[in-house]
């Protein structure tokens, strides 16, 4: 606030602006605070994702951010006596305390639930941080506000709020596009390192002795907070995991999220996680004399995808020869399916967007090196392939489409346009296997299946387990839990005849693996009519220009997947990263 005296504006006792500071300096400090608030908001989402999943974490994030900005501006303009100059003094200390508060709240994620947990966490951390940042920025801009009075009271009162919101959103957009390129390259560019770096910038921008109150939090972050990227905190993480029968093999933040490799000494498997989802894993405990050529995957769906080799060719022959066959795999995971294809002698191209996933699969899951790796976006890869001359386009006998993670699918990779691109890369008598995990009862799943059927004229659908398996109540179900969540494999051809049929597997197909003996023969076939609902627009399919139709269903699916993952691995694994 400011009062006018003889035509001049002078600061009152509640102003955060020093009367000796020039306007440009106060404006600069205000801009810095809003940029730091926006960066903190973006980092908060990456911090929440390993505990709650990316989609549920974002459900209330936008509303909380807008509410914090509005409340901060309102308190400064209407009720300055409530904060005085305390907001500027408290803000740096609060920024240092945010990682510690998050750590302790994460330990109660199961009790808080999802999506309430991320909302409560941000309400107690990012909401007050953004609120105080906006409040202090408004105080620093009081002189500018006074100068805007010549344009009317509305412009004077709302100019700072609107400008602050635009700056906040602009910074948020810049970080969304640039942060994935650099996250994880060193300790500074991790969520923990960035949180501490942002807190340091708050302290430099608003120096105050109140920051001494944050020393306990800083010491905790440097020595005990397992989310921090230091040697001591990583050792602490391992000690925590070992208490529940797990061992951290490696971890790194990357463009798709927090990636780690874990060993389970209790159950005898190794798995790779990305945020709050498992990308796959292998059984490591074997009985004497059992040495399969390719490790047994912990999820049956990866063996089901290998059954694409069993599809009978259109020429009437009993089988297609592996030697000389080509396969395209979209989405790597731990590499269970492509590893088997490579061992069968199939020339395999793998498209994986995350270089850390590819490195971990090669280093910790024995992905054979004799494959073609394309580290990049599958959408770009397919578009570039289609732009080639017809005689130069690579064509494949088999395509594996396996990109599901975190309870949601990358929507652009299930559009009719992308699937048509894959169809162009598939040989005339080739076969595509699409892995889709979702709730069969939800409209989003039906939309995806309809889209697949609109591109490929002949498909058969198989689920990982029998529908009756989902009727088992673990005591944790709720009305928002998925009614029939399952992994499905959709096998399709480009031709309408002959019918899509599969040969009986031989011992050579199993590669000495018991898991492949059990799951390679496709069972639990689903009638495509299940995915048709009279309440749906049955002519609607997923288009690249209208993907919001599917993203609208992500929240329920992601929360359901979160509950499933909490039954697969203990809560402590997800909470402590």
Neighbours of 573 (CB within 10 A): 23
Q: What is the mean pLDDT of the chain?
A: 89
- Range with the lowest mean pLDDT among 89-103, 224-238, 471-485? 471-485
Give pLDDT, residue 383.
94
Cβ–Cβ under 8 Å, residues 430 and 395: yes
φ/ψ (deg, to 5) at 461: -120, 130
Q: How far apart are CA 216 and CA 208, in angstroms?
A: 16
Average pLDDT over residues 266-283: 95
Is the CATH code 3.30.70.660 the one for domain 295-468+488-544? no
pLDDT tens digits along 195-232: 999 999 999 999 999 999 999 999 999 999 999 999 99
Q: How far apart are CA 124 and CA 104, in angstroms?
A: 12
What are the angstrom distances between the C-alpha of 317 and each of 314, 321, 502, 511, 577? 8, 10, 12, 22, 50
Banded pLDDT at 370 (limits 50, 70, 90): very high
Q: How far apart are CA 389 and CA 32, in angstroms?
A: 51
214: Cα within 13 Å, side-chain hemisphere? 26
Whose CA is closest to 422, among 514, 328, 333, 515?
328
3 or 138, which is more confident: 138
Contacts of 477 (CB under 8 A, 6+ apart): 563
550 or 147, which is more confident: 550
Q: Is the pLDDT of residue 75 over 90?
A: no
Give pLDDT, residue 454.
94
Average pLDDT over residues 99-117: 97
Q: How far apart are CA 471 and CA 451, in angstroms?
A: 28
69: Cα within 13 Å, side-chain hemisphere? 23
Pairing of strands 347-352, 326-330: parallel
pLDDT tens digits along 490-532: 999 999 989 999 999 999 999 999 999 999 999 999 998 888 7
Kindly report the pTM of this predicted structure: 0.90
Give pLDDT, residue 132.
95
Q: How far is CA 261 from the centre of its chain?
A: 16
Give pLDDT, residue 439.
79
Q: How far apart are CA 263 and CA 347, in angstroms?
A: 31
Contacts of 381 (CB under 8 A, 6+ apart): 351, 374
Average pLDDT over residues 370-399: 91
Domain at 19-229: CATH architecture: Up-down Bundle (1.20)
Q: What angle do CA 545, 452, 394 make, to 5 degrees?
A: 90
Q: How far apart are CA 402 and CA 384, in angstroms?
A: 20
**Buried residues in 310-321 as b, exposed as e (16+ CB within 10 A):** bbbbbeeeeebe
Give pLDDT, residue 478.
39
Q: How far apart are CA 335 and CA 241, in angstroms?
A: 25
Q: How far apart are CA 65 and CA 40, in angstroms?
A: 11
The DSSP line for 365-416 is S---S-SEEEES-HHHHHHHHHTS-GGG---EEEEEE---BTTB--GGGGSH
Average pLDDT over residues 357-374: 97
Domain ranges of the chain: 19-229, 295-468+488-544
Look at the alpha carbons of 498, 501, 507, 508 in this order and tell me if their dihedral is positive or negative.
Answer: positive
pLDDT tens digits along 539-572: 689 999 888 878 777 777 888 889 999 999 999 9
Neighbours of 144 (CB within 10 A): 18
Q: How far apart are CA 490 and CA 103, in angstroms?
A: 41
Q: Is the pLDDT of residue 480 over 70?
A: no
Runs of H (alpha helix) within 426-498:
443-455
> In the structure encoding, which two tokens stand for residue 91, read together?
């803000």
- The crossing angle, in degrees rounded to 10, of helices 126-140 and 86-106 is 170
Average pLDDT over residues 447-474: 80
φ/ψ (deg, to 5) at 262: -125, 145
Give pLDDT, residue 78.
74
What is the four-CA torsion angle of 489, 493, 499, 501, rounded to 10 degrees? -50
pLDDT tens digits along 156-173: 667 788 888 999 999 999
Give pLDDT, residue 1.
39
- Range with the lowest mean pLDDT among 178-192, 318-332, 482-496? 482-496
């Amino acid at each position: 606030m400011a009062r006018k005296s003889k035509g001049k504006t002078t600061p009152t006792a509640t102003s955060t602006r020093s009367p000796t500071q020039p306007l440009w300096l106060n404006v600069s400090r205000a801009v810095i605070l809003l940029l730091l608030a926006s960066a903190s908001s973006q980092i908060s989402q990456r911090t929440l994702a390993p505990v709650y999943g990316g989609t549920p974490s974002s459900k209330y994030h936008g509303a909380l951010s807008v509410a914090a900005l509005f409340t901060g501006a309102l308190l400064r303009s209407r009720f300055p006596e409530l904060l005085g100059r305390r907001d500027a003094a408290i803000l740096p200390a609060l920024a240092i305390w945010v990682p510690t508060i998050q750590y302790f709240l994460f330990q109660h994620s199961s009790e808080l639930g999802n999506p309430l947990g991320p909302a409560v966490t941000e309400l107690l951390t990012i909401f007050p941080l953004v609120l105080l940042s906006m409040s202090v920025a408004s105080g620093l801009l009081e002189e500018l506000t006074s100068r805007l009075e010549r344009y009317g009271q509305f412009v004077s009162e709302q100019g700072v709020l609107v400008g602050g919101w635009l700056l906040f959103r602009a910074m948020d957009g810049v970080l969304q596009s640039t942060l994935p390129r650099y996250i994880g390259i060193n300790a500074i560019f991790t969520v923990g390192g960035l949180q501490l770096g942002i807190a340091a910038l708050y302290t430099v921008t608003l120096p105050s002795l109140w920051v001494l109150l944050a020393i306990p939090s800083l010491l905790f972050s440097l020595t005990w907070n397992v989310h921090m990227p230091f040697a001591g905190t990583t050792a602490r993480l391992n000690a925590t995991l070992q208490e529940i029968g797990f061992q951290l093999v490696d971890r790194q933040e990357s463009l798709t999220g927090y990636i780690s490799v874990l060993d389970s000494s209790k159950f005898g498997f190794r798995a790779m996680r990305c945020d709050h989802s498992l990308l796959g894993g292998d059984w490591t405990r074997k009985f004497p004399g059992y040495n399969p050529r390719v490790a047994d995957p912990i999820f049956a769906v990866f063996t089901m995808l290998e059954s694409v080799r069993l599809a009978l060719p259109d020429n009437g022959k009993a089988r297609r020869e592996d030697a000389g066959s080509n396969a395209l795999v979209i989405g790597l995971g731990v590499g269970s399916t492509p590893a088997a294809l490579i061992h069968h002698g199939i020339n395999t191209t793998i498209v994986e967007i995350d270089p850390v996933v590819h490195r971990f699969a090669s280093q910790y899951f024995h992905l054979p090196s004799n494959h073609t790796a394309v580290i990049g976006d599958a959408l770009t890869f397919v578009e570039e392939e289609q732009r080639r001359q017809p005689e130069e386009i690579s064509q494949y006998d088999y395509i594996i489409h396996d990109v599901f993670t975190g309870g949601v699918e990358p929507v652009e990779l299930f559009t009719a346009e992308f699937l048509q691109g894959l169809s162009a890369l598939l040989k005339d008598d080739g076969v595509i296997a699409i892995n889709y995990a979702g709730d069969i009862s939800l409209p989003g799943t039906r939309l995806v299946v309809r889209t697949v059927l609109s591109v490929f004229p002949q498909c058969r659908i198989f689920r990982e387990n029998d529908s009756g398996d989902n009727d088992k109540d673990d005591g944790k179900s709720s009305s928002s839990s998925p009614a029939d969540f399952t992994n499905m494999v959709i096998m399709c051809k480009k031709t309408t005849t002959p019918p899509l049929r599969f040969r009986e597997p031989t011992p050579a197909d199993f590669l000495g693996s018991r898991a492949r003996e059990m799951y390679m023969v496709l069972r639990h076939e689903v009638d495509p009519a299940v995915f048709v609902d009279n309440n749906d627009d049955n002519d609607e399919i997923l288009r690249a220009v209208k993907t919001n139709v599917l993203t609208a269903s992500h929240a329920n699916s992601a929360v359901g997947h979160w509950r499933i993952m909490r039954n697969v691995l203990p809560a402590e694994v997800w909470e402590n990263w």
